[in-house]
Amino acid sequence: MSLISIIKDGTSFLQFPNLSEFSEISHGIFTRKNGYSNAPYNSLNTSYSNGDDIRKVALNRLAIAECFDGNELVFAKQVHGAKVMSFSKKNTSVASGSYDGSPECDAMITDIKKKSLVIQMADCQSIVMFDPVLKVVANVHSGWRGSIKNIIGQTISAMKKKFGTNPNHIISGIGPSLGPCCAEFVNYQNEIPEKLWTYKNDSNYFDFWALSSKQLCDAGVLKENIYSSEICTRCNTDLFYSFRGEGITGRFATVIGLK
């Protein structure tokens, strides 16, 4: 089954079919279309930090927020690390809205309703997770550096430790990102640990989609509960931003939250 295409209030986004079955959550992978930004950020750019007009970015973020019926968007100051932030009902100190006030991390977890976690990408992966038993959601930013550090596994460990999640219950989706067709690492011997070279083809291209699926399974997520979109951002710059393909460009958003 393919990703589900939705247009709401003039804004287009996609949903994972395995997560769309749950009425307790709202989620979306937003394309670059139907926004306010001009080239090279055209048009639904969500990042304040890449040179775009901040007034237009604010309008883009508002358009996304309006798709979630009053949920507050919670952004991360992404640094290509492995820090995981948890926002629980017991600790409601959640940064939102302003980029400068956002927590420095690359994964967020919450059990708080009406808080939608946002990850921004332009080739990196967003991995969303939902524990339907304990009602916990997570959103993970995993580029090649995050993959090396196994931020996926660290996020699931935090879900277990801080929220009591059983990984067997997690429903997960891997969003559009740089595919094995385009993920070339000429200097991989200096950048990628040798234990991960099994994800390289006969040339210098790596399959980070397969690696993320393996990391999810290794952390206890059932294979049948994982949906990988397998859409390459560089091959589809009409729909998504791609740093590899475009250089100066915008960032598209993946969002998940409890209603």
Contact 185, 199 (CB under 8 A): no
pLDDT at 231 over 80: yes
pLDDT at 184 over 90: yes
Average pLDDT over residues 186-208: 96
Position 97 scores a pLDDT of 41
Return the domain boundaries, the chain. 4-258
Q: Which residues contact 227 (CB under 8 A, 6 or more apart)?
A: 16, 17, 18, 19, 172, 173, 174
Helices (H), strands (E): how many in the chain? 6, 12
Average pLDDT over residues 11-32: 97
* Percent of the chain clearing pLDDT 70 (strictly above): 96
Residue 15 binned pLDDT confidence (cut-offs 50, 70, 90): very high
Burial class (CB in 10 A: 0-12, 13-18, 19+), 190: exposed
Question: pLDDT digits over 127-171, tens only?
Answer: 999 999 999 999 999 999 999 999 999 999 999 999 999 999 999
pTM of the full structure:
0.95
Superfamily of domain 4-258: CNF1/YfiH-like putative cysteine hydrolases (3.60.140.10)
